[in-house]
């Protein structure tokens, strides 16, 4: 039944049951609108502006139908959706009216006092970090540069992970950003990085690089220059947009005009990146003799269709126990999933691996420990997932939910450590 028909079917809007249906309908509208936002992104990347405009117009039309109660957490989610839609409208406007920016191919290597201060940090107290990160970069730089060339983006962007993660593939920040390119969960979902019980593609170097390129392209289309786009990559486009709206200077001309008004970490992020680029391009000038980078990863792939523990496969192949896990960092259990998966293996080992797999047992993952959450008025799957540090898809899978509708009083399994929890315990 279409959403509009469901809403008309509510007989008594003052009853608790009707309110629950209304809340569920709003949550369903939000999920539909978010899906349209993703369609907008996809159409824009393909250069189909007309279809992108239709999708974002449809998302906005759904937004206008939402009227959550003032005390409902859905109000905050509606505001987030409004910002999401506004960002894409601005992105489409920039792409249509300011195509092919002159500064698309280069990142200005200014040498102001902020950049020089970061160079001094890398020369002194962060020297070991910088040199070790540079060494690790060799594992991935060839792949990253190739992806950037295919996308037509500045190859200098390939050094962004030296600031984000130190080229550590499983780096995790205090803000729960993960991987080489430090994606948070919500941005990862927007750029099609899969996260389920078995994998988290934020830790896959190739997949996360492609997602980062899409995200950076969107930010550049939105802001018009790379320094502002990089600031938005660090702290979010909404935060940078608010700073821009609060000033009276043409930000497209000079990023450094808004620099003092940005959050401290973001204010450092851009000059740190420029400082790193400056050192890498001319190490002798800044007193560096950079170490030799590690050689690039070499591997081939093969399809594995059942769960197999990587440590058992490594032992059967006579490999170091960590080698397969290092080549496949997105595997959360260090085991292949219960669906077809392209496993990376050392080059030249496909025949041996195929034979070894025949002798290995099916690996059974540990049972997921769950708690019971009692749904409260105004709850949605997305709000419960956010509080429980899990995903909507995980909640739907644990509770055998086909759609998105939940009702007050419903008992849901959520990932956790205790055996039960009630609504009051959640505060």
Structure tokens at 166: 């130190």
Read off the pLDDT of each residue in 154-170 and give the average, rounded to a whole number.
96
For 191-209, what is the mean pLDDT?
A: 94
- Of the ranges 102-106, 127-131, 315-319, 343-347, which one carries the lowest mean pLDDT score? 102-106
Predicted confidence at residue 96, as pLDDT, reads 53
Q: How far is CA 343 from CA 197, 301, 331, 352, 372, in A?
A: 17, 5, 10, 14, 35
Determine the pLDDT at residue 248. Answer: 58
Position 157 scores a pLDDT of: 97
* 8 belongs to the catalytic site: no
* Burial of residue 286 (number of CB atoms within 10 Å: 0-12, 13-18, 19+): middle
Among residues 22, 147, 164, 237, the one annotated as catalytic is 164
Domain 370-426 carries which CATH code? 3.10.350.10
Return the pLDDT at 175. 79
Model pLDDT, residue 18: 45
pLDDT cut 70: percent of the chain above it: 84
Q: What is the mean pLDDT of residues 341-348?
A: 96
Average pLDDT over residues 35-54: 80
* Mean pLDDT across 140-167: 96
| pLDDT digit string, tens, across residues 63-122 | 888 888 766 767 777 877 887 787 677 666 655 544 444 445 678 889 999 999 999 999
> Which region among 18-22, 345-349, 385-389 has the lowest average model confidence (pLDDT)?
18-22
Write down the pLDDT at residue 10.
37
Residue 50 backbone phi and psi in degrees, to 5: -60, -45
With H, G, I as helix, E, B as strand and everything else as coil, classify residue 309: strand
420 compared with 195, residue with greater pLDDT: 195
The pLDDT tens digits of the residues spanning 232-274 come to: 898 888 778 777 777 654 444 467 877 888 888 778 999 999 9
Q: In the prediction, which pLDDT does 39 show?
A: 84
Domains 113-286 and 370-426 share a fold: no
Four-way CATH pick for 113-286: 1.20.1530.20, 1.10.530.10, 1.20.120.530, 3.40.640.10:
1.10.530.10
Domain ranges for the chain: 3-97, 113-286, 299-358, 370-426
| H-helix or E-strand spanning residue 370 | strand 370-374
Q: Which residue has the higher pLDDT, 319 or 423?
A: 319
327 vs 90, more confident? 327
CA separation for the pair 312, 316 (Å, rounded): 6
Q: What's the whole-number mean pLDDT along residues 28-46?
A: 81
Which position has the token pair 């117009």? 57
pLDDT at 9 over 50: no
Three-class DSSP category at 197: coil
The pair of structure tokens assigned to 325 is 């896990």
pLDDT of residue 23: 64
From the number of C-beta atoms within 10 Å of its C-beta (0-12, 13-18, 19+), residue 107 rates as buried
1-5, 168-172, 175-179, 347-351: segment of lowest average pLDDT: 1-5
Residue 368: per-residue pLDDT: 64
Q: Is 163 a residue whose pLDDT tops 60? A: yes
Predicted confidence at residue 423, as pLDDT, reads 35
Q: Does pLDDT of 328 surpass 70?
A: yes
Find out whether 140 and 180 touch, Cβ atoms under 8 Å. yes
Between 64 and 146, residue with greater pLDDT: 146
Q: What is the mean pLDDT of the chain?
A: 83
Residue 382 has a pLDDT of 85
More confident residue, 252 or 57: 57
């Amino acid at each position: 039944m279409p959403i509009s028909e469901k809403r008309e079917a509510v007989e008594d809007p003052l009853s608790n049951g009707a309110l629950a249906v209304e809340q569920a309908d709003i949550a369903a509208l939000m999920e539909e609108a978010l899906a349209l936002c993703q369609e907008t992104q996809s159409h824009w990347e393909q250069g189909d502006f007309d279809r992108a405009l239709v999708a974002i117009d449809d998302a906005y039309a759904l937004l206008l139908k939402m009227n959550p109660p003032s005390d409902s957490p859905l109000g905050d989610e509606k505001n987030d959706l409004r910002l999401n839609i506004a960002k894409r409208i601005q992105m489409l406007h920039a792409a249509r009216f300011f195509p092919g920016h002159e500064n698309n191919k280069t990142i200005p290597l200014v040498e102001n006092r902020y950049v020089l201060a970061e160079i001094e940090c890398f020369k002194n107290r962060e020297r070991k970090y910088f040199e070790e990160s540079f060494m690790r970069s060799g594992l991935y730089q060839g792949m990253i540069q190739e992806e950037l060339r295919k996308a037509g983006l500045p190859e200098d962007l390939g050094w962004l992970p030296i600031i984000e993660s130190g080229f550590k593939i499983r780096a995790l920040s205090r803000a729960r950003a993960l991987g080489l390119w430090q994606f948070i969960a919500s941005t990862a979902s927007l750029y099609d990085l899969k996260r389920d019980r078995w994998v988290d593609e934020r830790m896959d170097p190739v997949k996360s690089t492609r997602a980062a390129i899409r995200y950076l392209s969107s930010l550049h289309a939105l802001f018009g220059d790379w320094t502002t786009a990089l600031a938005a990559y660090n702290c979010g486009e909404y935060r940078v947009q608010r700073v821009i709206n609060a000033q009276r200077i043409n930000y497209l001309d000079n990023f450094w005009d808004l620099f003092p008004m940005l959050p401290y970490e973001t204010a450092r992020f851009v000059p740190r990146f420029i400082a790193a680029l400056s050192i890498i391009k001319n190490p002798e000038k800044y007193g560096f003799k950079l170490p030799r980078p590690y050689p690039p990863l070499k591997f081939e792939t093969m399809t594995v269709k059942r769960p197999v523990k990587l440590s058992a496969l490594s032992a059967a192949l006579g490999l170091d126990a960590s080698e397969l896990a290092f080549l496949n960092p997105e595997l959360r259990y260090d085991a292949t999933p219960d669906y077809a998966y392209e496993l990376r293996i050392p080059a030249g080992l496909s025949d041996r691996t195929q034979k070894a797999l025949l002798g290995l047992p099916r690996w059974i993952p540990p049972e997921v420990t769950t708690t019971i959450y009692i749904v409260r008025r105004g709850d949605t799957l997305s709000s419960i997932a956010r509080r429980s540090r899990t995903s909507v898809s995980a909640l739907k899978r644990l509770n055998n939910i086909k759609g998105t509708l939940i009702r007050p009083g419903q008992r849901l399994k959520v990932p956790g450590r205790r055996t039960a929890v009630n609504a009051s315990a959640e505060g």
